[in-house]
Structure 1
Amino acid sequence: MSDANVEWVKLAQLSDIGTPGAIKVDIDDLQICIARDSAGDVHALDDTCSHAAVSLSEGEVEDDGIECWLHGSKFAYATGEPMSLPATQPVNVYPTKLEGDDILVGIPA
């Protein structure tokens, strides 16, 4: 997704999220999971698991993806693709960038 196709929106601050950790942020009609892995890298993806419609931000944050707390499906940060069953459908991912402590997420324009 190029910068021309997104609107950069401040959705959180680094200090809002543990390392590792995750939070859910609502913006317009989107629910976004902002996850911070053990290296401190920030990722953004849809907060709703594609298998059971539960919040991914309540799941286990790992270095390569986030695991849904209900049935254990894990989703890759880079692609949103499920890395384990029972989920078979990906979730949307969003670009992120940092400006100081601010976490900006690229929301589709």
Structure 2
Amino acid sequence: MGEVDAQGQSQVWVAAIRAADLAPNDATRIQHNQSCIALYNLDGRFYATAGICTHAHAFLSEGYINGQTIECPLHQGLFHIPTGKPLSPPVTEALKTYQTKIEQGTVYVLVDGG
């Protein structure tokens, strides 16, 4: 079940995790092709962003979640999870965000390529 983004790139929904396996206000890391993706459960709403901090190589899934923000575990920069927007130094570059959906208890992420 593929789609095409605004730039004409093909996109595909990939099964990431069973929704029940990611506790509320927690995150996990998934890998799809060459992409590291962080998947978040914010009180039952699932979000996905690039999994590596834009400032330095740190896995955001290992960071601290507070409300709708993730704190990078390396230098404590904050990102807004739903939008990927940087909120505090040293981070200045936004995270790529991905659409998510839940079907039959599985969380899917819309990723580039196949």
Tell me which of 55, 58, 61 is aligned to 2:62. 58
The aligned length equals 106
The residue aligned with 2:49 is: 45
Structure 1: tracts of 5 or more residues without a match: none
Which structure shows the bigger proportion of residues in strand conformation?
A: 2
* RMSD after superposition: 1.2
Which stretches of structure 1, 4 residues or longer, exceed 6 Å deviation after superposition?
none
Q: Which runs of 5+ in 2 are unaligned?
A: 6-10
Q: Of residues 72, 97, 101 in structure 2, which corresponds to 1:68?
A: 72
**For each residue in 1:46-80, what CA deviation from the matched residue of structure 2 results, as whole angstroms up to 9, or x when unmatched?**
11001111000000123212111121111112221
- Which residue of structure 2 aligns with residue 19 of structure 1? 24
Structure with bigger gyration radius = 2
Q: For residues 66 and 14 of structure 2, what CA distance do their matches in structure 1 show?
A: 25
Q: Give the share of equivalent positions with the same residue, in percent.
A: 29
Mapped to 2, the partners of 1:16 and 1:28 lie a distance apart of: 22
Q: Greater shift after overlay, 74-83 or 23-32?
A: 74-83
